[in-house]
Chains A and B, each alone.
Chain A
Amino acid sequence: MPRRTDISSILVIGSGPIVIGQACEFDYSGTQACRVLREEGFRVILVNSNPATIMTDPEFADATYIEPITPDFVERIIAREKPDALLATMGGQTALNTAMALHRSGVLEKYGVELIGANIAAIERGEDREQFKEVIKSLRDLPGGPPEVARSTMCHCVDEVVTAAQNLGYPVVLRPSYTMGGVGSGFAHDDAEARSMAEIGLDASPTTEVLVEESILGWKEFELEVMRDRKDNVVIVCSIENLDPMGVHTGDSITVAPALTLTDREFQRLRDIGIAVIRAVGVDTGGCNIQFAVNPDNGRVIVIEMNPRVSRSSALASKATGFPIAKIAAKVAVGYTLDEIPNDITGETPASFEPTLDYIVVKVPRFAFEKFPTAEDTLTTHMKSVGEAMAIGRNFTEALGKALRSLEDSRAPLRLTGPIPQMQEALTNAARPHDGRLQDVVQALRAGASTAEVHQSTMIDPWFLDQLVLVLDVAQEVASAEELTADVIRMAKRHGLSDEQIGELRGLSGAEVRSLRWALGVRPVYKTVDTCAAEFAARTPYHYSTYDEETEVAPRKKPAVLILGSGPNRIGQGIEFDYSCVHASMALSKAGYETVMVNCNPETVSTDYDTSDRLYFEPLTLEDVLEVYAAEVAAGPVAGVIVQLGGQTPLKLAAALKEAGLPIVGTSPEAIDLAEERGAFGKVLADAGLPAPRYGMARSADEACAIAGDIGYPVLVRPSYVLGGRGMEIVYDDQTLTTYVTTVTLASEDSPIMVDKFLDDAIEIDVDALFDGTDLYVGGIMEHIEEAGVHSGDSACALPPITLGAEVVENIRRSTRAIAEGVGVCGLINIQYALVGDTLYVLEANPRASRTVPFVSKATDTQLAKAAALIMLGASIAELRDSGMLKATGDGSTPAESAPVAVKEAVMPFNRFQTAEGTSVDTLLGPEMRSTGEVMGLDASFGIAFAKSQAASYGPLPLEGSVFVSIADSDKRHTILPMEMLEDMGFALYATTGTAAVLRRNGISASVVRKRHEGAGPTGEPTIVDRVLNHEVDLIINTPHGGSSAGATRRDGYGLRSAAVMADIPCVTTVQGLIAVVQGIAASRKGQVSVRPLQEWAPLMRPEKGAPSPELVKGSLGSGVENSDAEKEN
């Protein structure tokens, strides 16, 4: 069946900001979907609040709405665009939930929007546990009998519970009905436990009901990726086996593709069930993911759940097989059948087949517990990882070794030497699922535990344990070999050992092993991911390394540029860097280069085989990158290697790569070092006459206190050996400083700590700029809305800056140029400034693509990463101005009068983490970055843009209700007017004593509330924090109280902010923010909030690119903005 002709426009919903459990895999899916739908000639309308996504690049849709993904905003978009259909299966749970809400509110019906991909009934049957159970039970005709769900009994008294538990067999899970936060649920191992837990559970349940369910903890866990078209053709794209058995979320598990421990009979049983389930649930067109548990003792299969949409697993499966699930899902959603869609990789065969692999894929999760020290790190069914790395090898051990080193965590690769722990201790550690459990498993095996014993304590399948034993055997052979011969090295390599690991076994450095290996001619070859195990020739150069015989890298004539990606997502380095790498690839490919992407993150667009001319799915370590380079040099000329777009990951390899003779293009590794080395950078600033906060290095508490005394409190302290804000704290007195130095970081002769003057009451400013050695082009200047002291990645900011005068902007330009020149930048540089009074302090400079590049690019309609890539390869800013890539005159610091305001807001993951005691982790924001993602609010005025950013991240601003106010003295006079407006709009006001008094004197009435540090009142009056947590407040206004004695007050502010985050309540911390919020609320109450796609903003951002139609200009401007200048520019 060909493409449907009865629909012509399709709305695609993205997944919004990156959060734990919903990351850039949905950018990958959505980008594929948008690309396909446009190719098919549909008008594509996209909504996604996340500016760091490739899918929100204006060329991927006809109308790109960077607007909040809330039913309210999406309804406005539907009203404006009148799409024929809605595709909601590409944007994770966010998109699915939004579509369901629009269905329930009747919006879809009202505007005649058809849901394609999965219909309402199918989504409900897939998502609702009870309905899903019924679906499974209804599959009676399945050969081999109906599939099963976990057996359970609903009980109403203790005796019933005990009888049910006995019937099901211990252990059992008790789940009281309708209790908050899982109160009373857990495992019972015997009658006594069942009895006591039943009493608690029945008591806790308002309906006096407890569900007793059989335990499937420790069973084998499998997933199938299933695809169906409207002629009912169904294929299984991929099977995935979880190395971590049932009990650990698949996102937190080490997973393997294909499934390795099933016979064909058992695998076909899962396949039969999978197909029956997608049919019965009724996913007509598209993909779904189905999870199974298999009892390792008898093979009994239980269906756990299904997702009627693309997912993290489907992104992984796409990368693992070369079968692009989202792309195919989009095609079948618009009417094609699988046999009508060609398999891109072979070019000849159709997509109606099941990929077969001649390699093994291993995915490992990456966690960020170091950012949340108090969080409980036991892994459960609640996902906690922030990223993942995937590796491909010709066997499991090779893929595992590569995957573990892809994590860029020195603790991850299997430790094959060094102290051997006590066996029992190692077994005990391994029994608890946690980050690093596999290492404990290996240490237990090293300590002499048998695979049977390890299986007993971990339930990890013995097959995988035997593979780990194999690695240890290989390590033993390497260690005991008389000489490191080619055969010994090759054997080690074939089981995934890195040069470093071999070195450790032989008392050599990794570099020494590498030279020996090269001298012996032991080099990897590169095989191709081809979906068909070499049955057909592959057209797509999607490669992975392996130590085998024959390489498949094709020779080429065009000069190549290697782009090193950013590896697994982590806090501080995520999708924003992938965005820059993808843009570089696009720009350079267009400029005539053959682009070669190297990356190991399966969630990303960069690792889509469609993105670059060649893709190497490889770890980003020195060893692996050197080998890719060698392979490409053998294939043809290499024009350069780009390291400055992928964040710290490639940057930290730069010096070693250059030393090895690789042509690093752009800013030189020496210049990168210059910017990161404190003393040298200080000299750059001094030469340019630029001020920086005073600082000193301390090796003891006394030294630290002396420095602090000299430069004055508050000070910002951090260990000198970490980057990215790890371990930073703001300290206000000697006592705290001493504690920090002696207990937290243990400063010493070898690892001193940095003590910086902390600039209180400063306005923080972020700048992204391009420099080509001659010209500077400021991409954008962002003014932080948050108080100073919060990591720039965690702060909201506005572009263009909302309060900076022309003089300050000119000063920023001058300083930026001086630094770019002094450091020797070629490409991008990011500089953070702090403005105190009239003084512009330089906080730090990073001569690389920053996290804000995509935000700035979207907010100014200027592709900074593309421009940077071209500059690195020799283009000048002047040329880029001529070509139209950059503005012909002016730059990002001189926005057009008609330009809208963009607000970026950070999204925090605090709600994902709990302490061991089950309470929330400390949510204080600080100098250490902890946000996982960001959103953008875009509108003609700051107020609405800000309101949109809040709606997109923490929920809409309240239009009525109560407001809590606590204002710094210096700010009080500026807040009278906005507070009066809030009161006029009918808000009830609460305030701290001082603020309430000021308000009262100005005729505004506010009830007094206790501060957090005052504690509960004598008769139990709650503090403001308690009220916030009880959802008694709808909006918080809290500007920071500066000054030297501000410790307690500042912490009050932090505590309040944390409470706001926990309770999902908007919190404003600046006067600008307050004014903005009030504007936003007022505009929202008047119904002035409108939606507008980037394509309509573009001519307003860059009027010189093409004259926008007069109505467009007029229509875009909100109240209070003069539009005469914009008209003049036409």
Chain B
Amino acid sequence: MTVPALLVLQDGRSFRGQSFGAQGETFGEAVFATGMSGYQETLTDPSYDRQVVIATAPHIGNTGWNDEDDESGRIWVAGYVVRDPSPKPSSWRAKRPLTEELESQGIVGISGIDTRALTRHLRERGAMNVGISTVDLDLESLLEKVRQVAPMAGADLASEVTTTKAYVVPAQGRKRFTVVAVDLGIKAMTPQLMSRRGIEVHVLPQSATLADIEAIDPDGVFFSNGPGDPASATHAVELLRDLLGAGLPYFGICFGNQIFGRALGFSTYKLKYGHRGINQPVKDLTTGIVEITAHNHGFAVDAPQDHSVETEFGTASVSHIDLNDSVVEGLELRRDGELVGFSVQYHPEAAAGPHDAAYLFDRFTDMMARMDRKEASHAA
């Protein structure tokens, strides 16, 4: 028997559908994700904290839920909006249906609505808050509650998603480097890809201090992706400035790109409706090559694309742009012409998404190797 559900946007537009996943009520920022595969990775991506994700792909749940593809320890989305949930999963790796996982993790969702109309609405009006309920089907009442929800702009959410305890992901094969990864909402695939390249990854909570990091004596530092408004991430920005000041090679992804931007003196801003999908064309301005990339960001760095900027840490410039809308997708920092830090706004770790940008992990190891050599030669 289907249970009715109601979705109401902050501006009053509403959709009636059926309950999907857990019953109850949930609120968050409505965002649409356009990937056609990888809902398990999406749902468990901490960057989606407090967001209600609308899947534009109509069939969701086809391959069920397995025990390998989670990007973190739990589902983070605040709610899930789909059109056609699959009656049964089909995959040799599936352990249970998606609905079962949503129910057991208490994720409220809605199905059977015109997700394309909803997506178009958000595209035209911009991201906004939303509520989904299976218990309060009164439009006015639910709308009132949606209006009480805090906006995403200004939200500091890293503390909600970060690991509480530091942990180490050991290097696979011969260990080449030690890296501290500051967990602002890190996805499991990121330390995986580092580990495959001989990096021992020390994942620290977002509250980590310069002293905590120096105690590990890393060859480089990494700031992860994560939810919230970078303008509110004062601690992370200060920490990164200290690390850059200490001359540590830096690599950042997504939120880590925005923190890098702010640390270098650029500002950040909220995009109208953000980039969330696995088909975004990004151009590496240094090579001219276009890569198809996975995105999940509602904020972006405001930096000049036609010239570089001198900062106290070196020369900063935009390294990647999105070809759809020219949004800054990557930054790099050079000293004496040598790369000493870089970050991208998108997800080279993919999961879900294409592997085109995996070379950035090699760029990170190359940078550490080079800076290591330099230090070695200084010492000598």
Partner of B277, one of A233, A352, A535, A552: A535
Interface residues of A in 531-571 (CB under 8 A from B): 532-537, 548-550, 552
Interface contact B37-A262, CB-CB below 8 Å: yes
Q: Which chain B residues border A354 with CB–CB below 8 Å?
A: 278-279, 292, 354
Partner of B83, one of A350, A394, A451: A394
The answer, yes or no, to whether A264 is at the interface (CB within 8 Å) is yes
Interface contact B323-A353, CB-CB below 8 Å: yes
Partner of B34, one of A259, A349, A451, A533: A533
CA distance A360 to B281 in the complex (A): 23
Bitwise, B275-295 to A at CB < 8 A (1) or not (0) is: 001111101000011101000
Interface contact B288-A263, CB-CB below 8 Å: no
Interface contact A394-B90, CB-CB below 8 Å: no
**How many Å from the CB of B157 to the closest CB on chain A?**
24
Interface contact B277-A463, CB-CB below 8 Å: no
Partner of B91, one of A236, A261, A349, A359: A261
Partner of B116, one of A258, A353, A360, A534: A534
The answer, yes or no, to whether A782 is at the interface (CB within 8 Å) is no
CA distance A354 to B352 in the complex (A): 14
**How many Å from the CB of B360 to the closest CB on chain A?**
14
Q: Which chain A residues border B63 with CB–CB below 8 Å?
A: 261-263
Interface contact A550-B117, CB-CB below 8 Å: yes
Chain B residue nearest to A144 (CB atoms) is B355
Interface contact A360-B91, CB-CB below 8 Å: no
Q: Which chain A residues border B278 with CB–CB below 8 Å?
A: 264, 354, 356
Q: Which chain B residues border A537 with CB–CB below 8 Å?
A: 123
Partner of A356, one of B36, B69, B120: B36
**How many Å from the CB of B357 to the closest CB on chain A?**
12
Interface contact A548-B117, CB-CB below 8 Å: yes
CA distance A536 to B279 in the complex (A): 13
The answer, yes or no, to whether A268 is at the interface (CB within 8 Å) is yes
Interface residues of B in 18-71 (CB under 8 A from A): 32, 34-38, 40-41, 56-59, 62-63, 66, 68-69
Q: Which chain A residues border B354 with CB–CB below 8 Å?
A: 236, 268, 271, 354
CA distance A640 to B199 in the complex (A): 70
Given contacts A268-B355, A356-B34, A395-B58, contact A263 B69 (CB under 8 A): yes
Interface contact A263-B93, CB-CB below 8 Å: yes
Interface contact A358-B115, CB-CB below 8 Å: yes
Interface contact B355-A358, CB-CB below 8 Å: no
Partner of A263, one of B15, B40, B58, B88: B40
Interface residues of A in 473-518 (CB under 8 A from B): none
Bitwise, B314-329 to A at CB < 8 A (1) or not (0) is: 0000000001110000
Q: Which chain B residues border A143 with CB–CB below 8 Å?
A: 355, 358
The answer, yes or no, to whether A235 is at the interface (CB within 8 Å) is yes
Interface residues of B in 68-100 (CB under 8 A from A): 68-69, 83-84, 86-93
Interface contact B34-A535, CB-CB below 8 Å: yes
Chain B residue nearest to A537 (CB atoms) is B123
CA distance A267 to B36 in the complex (A): 10
The answer, yes or no, to whether B238 is at the interface (CB within 8 Å) is no
**How many Å from the CB of A543 to the closest CB on chain B?**
12
Q: Which chain A residues border B86 with CB–CB below 8 Å?
A: 463, 466
**How many Å from the CB of B46 to the closest CB on chain A?**
17
**How many Å from the CB of B311 to the closest CB on chain A?**
29
Segment of A292-300, A438-446, A959-967, A974-982 engaged in the interface with chain B:
A292-300
Q: Which chain A residues border B323 with CB–CB below 8 Å?
A: 339, 349-350, 352-353
The answer, yes or no, to whether B353 is at the interface (CB within 8 Å) is yes
Interface contact A548-B280, CB-CB below 8 Å: no
The answer, yes or no, to whether A1047 is at the interface (CB within 8 Å) is no
CA distance A536 to B119 in the complex (A): 10
Bitwise, B93-131 to A at CB < 8 A (1) or not (0) is: 100000000000000000001111101100100000000
CA distance A550 to B83 in the complex (A): 14
Interface contact A396-B324, CB-CB below 8 Å: no
Interface contact A348-B324, CB-CB below 8 Å: yes
Partner of A349, one of B68, B290, B324: B324
Given contacts A261-B63, A264-B352, contact A356 B279 (CB under 8 A): yes
Interface contact A549-B15, CB-CB below 8 Å: yes
The answer, yes or no, to whether B339 is at the interface (CB within 8 Å) is no
Q: Which chain A residues border B119 with CB–CB below 8 Å?
A: 358, 533-535
Interface residues of A in 188-211 (CB under 8 A from B): none
The answer, yes or no, to whether A673 is at the interface (CB within 8 Å) is no
Interface contact B93-A353, CB-CB below 8 Å: no
**How many Å from the CB of B99 to the closest CB on chain A?**
14
CA distance A271 to B291 in the complex (A): 13
The answer, yes or no, to whether A527 is at the interface (CB within 8 Å) is yes
Bitwise, A252-276 to B at CB < 8 A (1) or not (0) is: 0000001111111101100110000
**How many Å from the CB of A302 to the closest CB on chain B?**
15
What size tier do the contact residues of chain B reach?
A: 35 or more
Given contacts A353-B324, A462-B88, A549-B117, contact A260 B93 (CB under 8 A): no
**How many Å from the CB of A360 to the closest CB on chain B?**
6
The answer, yes or no, to whether A470 is at the interface (CB within 8 Å) is yes
**How many Å from the CB of A673 to the closest CB on chain B?**
42
Partner of B281, one of A258, A263, A352, A463: A352
The answer, yes or no, to whether A924 is at the interface (CB within 8 Å) is no
Interface contact B56-A358, CB-CB below 8 Å: yes
Interface residues of B in 339-375 (CB under 8 A from A): 350-355, 358
Chain A residue nearest to B84 (CB atoms) is A395
CA distance A296 to B59 in the complex (A): 20
**How many Å from the CB of A272 to the closest CB on chain B?**
6
Interface contact A462-B84, CB-CB below 8 Å: no
Interface contact B57-A533, CB-CB below 8 Å: yes
Interface contact B93-A534, CB-CB below 8 Å: no
The answer, yes or no, to whether A355 is at the interface (CB within 8 Å) is yes
Chain A residue nearest to B276 (CB atoms) is A535
**How many Å from the CB of A890 to the closest CB on chain B?**
56
CA distance A258 to B119 in the complex (A): 19
Given contacts A349-B324, A466-B90, contact A356 B277 (CB under 8 A): yes
Interface contact A264-B59, CB-CB below 8 Å: no
Given contacts A143-B355, A263-B63, A349-B324, contact A339 B283 (CB under 8 A): yes
Bitwise, A394-415 to B at CB < 8 A (1) or not (0) is: 1110000000000000000000
CA distance A549 to B56 in the complex (A): 15
**How many Å from the CB of A532 to the closest CB on chain B?**
7
Given contacts A527-B116, A550-B120, contact A395 B324 (CB under 8 A): no
Interface contact A265-B69, CB-CB below 8 Å: yes
Q: Which of A264, A353, A395 has the most CB of B within 10 A?
A: A264
The answer, yes or no, to whether A114 is at the interface (CB within 8 Å) is no
Interface contact B281-A353, CB-CB below 8 Å: yes
CA distance A522 to B90 in the complex (A): 33
The answer, yes or no, to whether A632 is at the interface (CB within 8 Å) is no
Q: Which of A261, A358, A469, A533 has the most CB of B within 10 A?
A: A533
Q: Which chain B residues border A297 with CB–CB below 8 Å?
A: 92
Q: Which chain B residues border A348 with CB–CB below 8 Å?
A: 324-325
Partner of A462, one of B56, B90, B283: B90
CA distance A349 to B282 in the complex (A): 11
Q: Which chain A residues border B35 with CB–CB below 8 Å?
A: 264, 356
**How many Å from the CB of A583 to the closest CB on chain B?**
34
Q: Which chain B residues border A550 with CB–CB below 8 Å?
A: 114, 116-117, 120
Q: Which chain B residues border A296 with CB–CB below 8 Å?
A: 92
Chain B residue nearest to A531 (CB atoms) is B279
The answer, yes or no, to whether A338 is at the interface (CB within 8 Å) is yes
Give me 10 other A-B pairs in contact (C-beta within 8 A), A263-B69, A264-B35, A463-B90 excluded: A258-B57, A264-B352, A296-B92, A354-B278, A360-B59, A395-B58, A396-B84, A469-B87, A533-B34, A550-B114
Could you give 9 example pairs across A and B, Cβ below 8 Å?
A260-B62, A262-B37, A263-B37, A299-B93, A356-B36, A358-B57, A359-B58, A463-B86, A548-B117
Pick the 5 closest A-B CB pairs, nearest first.
Answer: A264-B38, A550-B117, A549-B114, A463-B90, A264-B352
Question: B: which residues have CB within 8 A of A?
Answer: 15, 32, 34-38, 40-41, 56-59, 62-63, 66, 68-69, 83-84, 86-93, 113-117, 119-120, 123, 277-281, 283, 288-290, 292, 323-325, 350-355, 358
